[in-house]
Structure 1
Amino acid sequence: MMFASLYTIMRRLMLAFGLCFLLPVAASALWWTTLDRPGGWRAADWGASGILPAAAALPDAAIHVMAARTGGFKGAVSVHSWMVWKSADATTWSRAEVVGWGHPVRRDAYAADARWYSNQPQIIGSVTGPKAAALIPAVEATVDAYPFNHLGSYVIWPGPNSNTFVAHILRENPGIGIALPPNAVGKDYIGPGLQARRDAGGSDLHLSAWGYLGLSIGPRRGIEVNVLGQTFGLDLAHPAIKLPAIGRIGT
C-alpha cells in the first residue's frame, strides 16, 4: 500500500514537471527553430534599437531593467538582461551588464537599448522621477561591489552570469520593485552550495541549491520554483503566470 501511494505521488510529480517545465521549454525551442538568426556574433546586429529616447530629451531621472533573447540556441530558453539609468538632466544613459569574457562587469559597452545578437530588447520595468534619483547612487554602488567580477567567475549555467548580476542588483535594491522574467536563466543563482537569502530590507526570501534548484517567495517575485535554471511561478500582486523558456503571461 505504501509503495502504491509513493508511486502515485511520483507519477503526479513527474506529470506536473512535464506540464510546468518540459512542455513550455519544448514549445519555445520549436518556436525558436522557425526564426531567422545570425550565424555568429560577427554577423549579429548590436546597434541601438530605438526603444529608448535620447537621454537629453528626458529631464527626469530614470532606471530601466532591460532584456533581450540571447544568441545561439540558448536564446530559445533564456534572455540576457542589463541595467540602464540616467540622473536628472543627464545627457547620456549609463548601462551596466555582465558578459562572459574578461572581467565580467561592463559599463557602456553597447548603446543603452542595443539589440543583443540581433534580438530586439524590451523594457522589463522602470522607475522614474525622484524615486529613481534616490535609488541611482545605491545602484551604482551595487554594480561596483558585485561579488562575481573577477576573471573566470562567469559561468553560463547555472550562474553567475548576466542574469545573476541584474538579479543581484534587484535584491540589493528592492525599492526598484522589479523582478526578472522567468526565462532569465541564472537569476536564481545566489552562491555555491545551499543558500538562503532575503532581499535587502527583508522582503522576498530566496532558497537555492547551487543554482540548480530553488524557491523564491515574496511580494516582488510572487511564488517561483526554479529547476535547472528554469522558473515556473505565479505573480499574485500583478496577476500573471511565469513559464519556463516562454516568459511571463499576464499583466
Structure 2
Amino acid sequence: MKKGRTIFLGLLAVFVLPFGISLAEDPPGDKTKEKYTWRTAPRHSSGVAPDPVSLKDQAIVMIMAADTFGWRGYFAVHPWLIFKRAGETSYTRYDVVGWGGGNVVRKNYALPDGLWYGSKPKILVDQRGDKARELIPQVEAAIETYPFARTYRSYPGPNSNTFIAHIGREVPDLDLDLPANAIGKDYRAITNPVGLSSSGQGIQANLLGVFGFSVGLEEGIELNLLGLNVGIDFNRPALRLPSVGRLGMDNTGPSRPRNTAQAANVDGSEVAQ
C-alpha cells in the first residue's frame, strides 16, 4: 500500500511540477499577451526565419512552433512548416487550423515566421541547401497523404501537432523532434496503434494519443499518459516534460535571424490550437 502511494505521488509530481515551472517562468499577471483577443493579438514577422531574398539561391525547409493562444499556452504548442526552393524569394507555409470547417490543412494561413497570436516561434528543424532540395518533394507528398485533413480536435487530436508528426514520420530525414508539450503528436487512429514515432526514426505504441510510449534516436524515451508526455532525451541530454517541453540542452542550433523583419500584421479570427 505504501509503495503504491509513493509511486502515485512520484507520478503526480512528474506531471504536475512542470506546470508549476511553466507558471513561474511566465507568471499570468505578467503576460502582456493576455490582454490580446484573437483579433488584436500581433501576428507580424518574428524575424526568426532567414531572409528568403538574400538566400534566393538556397533551398530551405524549416519547422517551428509557438505557444498556443491564451491559457493553453501553458500546456501546448502550435507548430507549422515553411519551405522554399532554390531560386524562390518567398516561403510557402503549411499548418493545421481547426476553425472554419472543411480541409483543416491551410496553405499560407499566416506569415512564414509570424507570431502565433502574440507568441514568438522557436525553430525545431532547419534544413538548407542540397538536403532541403531533396526534402521538399517528400514533404509535399506527406502533406497530401495526411489522413485527418477534415478532422480536428484540440485534445487529444488530431490537431496541428498530429499534422506535423505525420510529416515527420513520412520524411525521417527532416530529423524532427517535437517537444513533449506538442500535445497531439502521439495521436494515432484506434486501428493503427503501433508504428513509427513522430521523428520517423523510432517506434511508438499509443491509443488515441492518451496512453502509450515512444522510443527513438531523436525523442529518446517518452511516456504518454492522458496526452501528457514525460521522458529523457539522450541525443541532446534533456528531460522531456509536460508544459515545459524540454529541460536541458536545446534540440537545435541557434537560429539565424533575418536581417529585416516584415512589419505587416495578418488579421485572424478565432482558431483552435
Confirm or deny a common fold (TM above 0.5): yes
8 Å contact kept, 1:56–1:89: no
- Indicate the SS of the match to 1:165: helix
1:64-105 Cα deviation digits (max 9, x unpaired): 110000112111111100111111121111110001122210
- State the partner residue of 2:231: 233
Letter of the structure 1 residue corresponding to residue 116 of structure 2: W
8 Å contact kept, 2:168–2:200: no
**Aligned counterparts of 1:57 and 1:201: Cα–Cα separation in 2:** 30
* Structure 1 spans left out of the alignment, 5+ residues: 1-6
- Indicate the SS of the match to 1:215: strand
- State the partner residue of 1:107: 107
Letter of the structure 2 residue corresponding to residue 148 of structure 1: F
**Aligned counterparts of 2:36 and 2:199: Cα–Cα separation in 1:** 45
8 Å contact kept, 1:86–1:92: yes
Q: After TM superposition, list the pairs within 5 Å mapping 1:1-251 onto structure 2.
A: 7-29=1-23, 31-34=26-29, 35-37=31-33, 38-58=35-55, 59-101=57-99, 102=101, 103-150=103-150, 153-192=151-190, 195-198=193-196, 203-251=201-249
**Aligned counterparts of 1:180 and 1:160: Cα–Cα separation in 2:** 15
Stretch of structure 1 that moved more, 63-72 or 38-47: 38-47
Q: How far is the alpha carbon of 1:16 from its aligned partner? A: 2.3
- Indicate the SS of the match to 1:10: helix
Letter of the structure 2 residue corresponding to residue 121 of structure 1: P
**Aligned counterparts of 1:200 and 1:206: Cα–Cα separation in 2:** 8
**Aligned counterparts of 1:154 and 1:194: Cα–Cα separation in 2:** 18
8 Å contact kept, 2:168–2:199: no
Letter of the structure 2 residue corresponding to residue 97 of structure 1: D
1:178-204 Cα deviation digits (max 9, x unpaired): 211111111111223670112599731
- Indicate the SS of the match to 1:190: coil
Letter of the structure 2 residue corresponding to residue 48 of structure 1: S
- State the partner residue of 1:4: none
Greater RCO between the two (CA within 8 Å, min separation 6)? 2
Letter of the structure 1 residue corresponding to residue 32 of structure 2: D
**Aligned counterparts of 2:197 and 2:135: Cα–Cα separation in 1:** 15
**Aligned counterparts of 1:157 and 1:72: Cα–Cα separation in 2:** 16
- State the partner residue of 2:255: none
8 Å contact kept, 2:186–2:198: no
1:154-210 Cα deviation digits (max 9, x unpaired): 000000000110011001111111211111111111223670112599731011112
* Structure 2 spans left out of the alignment, 5+ residues: 250-273
Stretch of structure 1 that moved more, 166-175 or 124-133: 124-133
Letter of the structure 2 residue corresponding to residue 130 of structure 1: D
- Indicate the SS of the match to 1:113: coil
Letter of the structure 2 residue corresponding to residue 139 of structure 1: V
8 Å contact kept, 1:84–1:96: yes
Q: Which has the higher helix share?
A: 1
TM-score (norm 2): 0.84
**Aligned counterparts of 1:198 and 1:210: Cα–Cα separation in 2:** 15
Letter of the structure 1 residue corresponding to residue 180 of structure 2: P
